Amino acid sequence: MDVLTHTVVAVTIGMAGYGRWGRRGVVGLVAAANLPELERAVSLGSTAAGVKVIYGATHSLVTAPVWGLLLWMLLARWLRDRKAAAILAALGLGSHLAFDLVSGPGVRLFWPIASQFYGWRLVARYDLLTLGWLGLMLVGPRLLNLVSRDMGAHPYSPQPAARVGLAGVVLLVAARVAAMGLLEGRATGTLVPSALSPLTWYAVADAGNAYTIDEITPWGYGVSLRYRKPQPNRAFETAADTPLGQAFLELAQFPQYSLERGDRGMLVRIRDLRFYSPAGEGKECSVEIEVTPQLQVVSQRARM
């Protein structure tokens, strides 16, 4: 799941228990929820290495306890409350890992011992419904307080709204589980969730010379798309042979290639259609490798 949603989830959890740990606790919880994102710093040294360790270096059952212990020590010193620090560290790291297990490619639970991903994809990586619902529950009480202040009425507490927000997310995930159970028997291929509706899914399948994406709901079928697999192309082959291309292709289930004009050559984009979004630009969960006419790689970028 993306950093913004992880942060909003952490703020919501923090506000739900605001009476227990206050503003410092909310800040600490947000820091704990974003700690696993530190693994992305590896990309500063090597983009390919960043892809190889993503959702593993700070997400696995091997490394997470170490990060949790270090985080607890820092929070305990800052809050001067060891029990609260332990709760916040567990809630922050736990919420991050829980959402990554049900979104995106999953989590490399046993990294660095094994690179296999584990998870059950129920939520889109950029889940606008979850983000919008939690945003409403966080902003709503503040807007109501602006009105009540002018009227001289009793102020609204943000804690009940935050708890309703978390309950709503649980119900949303439950609805996705139910919808997925109904649709699995009708879908041909891998089911991936919509970012807007818990009842809308996309069935992605390999049809030989192409990949197909069919919109499916409990009451019928929607748009059907077809992405042809590329013909032999030296630019594609050069990009796929780079360390970044190889690292990405190891985790991609439905790799789809596209070619665009770059600054110094042709920009090869390889994306995984498991992360198809009808409103997206085709860039989510992809790598971009620019290749000159002489087949030299001049730039690389990962969008993970």
Looking at this protein, which amino acid is placed at residue 17? G
Q: Which residue has the higher pLDDT, 283 or 41?
A: 41
Same domain? For 171 and 142 the reply is yes
Does 293 score more than 80 pLDDT? yes
Same domain? For 7 and 154 the reply is yes
Same domain? For 158 and 22 the reply is yes
Distance in angstroms (rounded) separating the CA atoms of residues 75 and 278: 41
Distance in angstroms (rounded) separating the CA atoms of residues 144 and 154: 10
pTM recorded for the entire structure: 0.87
> pLDDT class for 150, splitting at 50, 70, 90?
low
Mean pLDDT value across the chain: 87
Distance in angstroms (rounded) separating the CA atoms of residues 288 and 257: 10
One DSSP character per residue, 28-63 reads: HHHHHHHGGGGGGGGGGT-HHHHHHHTTTTTTSTTT
Same domain? For 123 and 176 the reply is yes
Which range is least confidently modeled, 37-51, 270-284, 286-300?
270-284
* The pair of three-digit structure tokens given for residue 89, joined into one six-digit string: 């560290």
Tokens 């082959």 map to which residue? 237
* Residue 114 φ/ψ region, left for φ over 0, alpha for ψ in the -120 to 50 degree band, beta for the rest: beta
> In the predicted model, what is the mean pLDDT of residues 14-21?
88
Q: Which residue has the higher pLDDT, 140 or 253?
A: 253
Same domain? For 176 and 205 the reply is no
Expressed as residue numbers, the domain containing 71 is: 1-183
Same domain? For 5 and 76 the reply is yes
2, 126 in Cβ contact below 8 A? yes
> In the predicted model, what is the mean pLDDT of residues 189-203?
88
Burial of 96 (0-12, 13-18, 19+ CB in 10 A): buried
Return the pLDDT at 290.
93
pLDDT in tens, 51-65: 888 898 889 988 888
Q: Which residue has the higher pLDDT, 76 or 145?
A: 76
pLDDT in tens, 82-113: 999 999 999 999 999 999 999 888 899 998 88
Count of CB atoms situated within 10 Å of the CB of 145: 16
Same domain? For 74 and 153 the reply is yes
Return the pLDDT at 220.
85
SS3 (DSSP) at 302: strand
Instruction: Count how many domains the chain has.
Output: 3
DSSP secondary structure code for residue 103 in this structure? B
196, 203 in Cβ contact below 8 A? no
Return the pLDDT at 247.
92
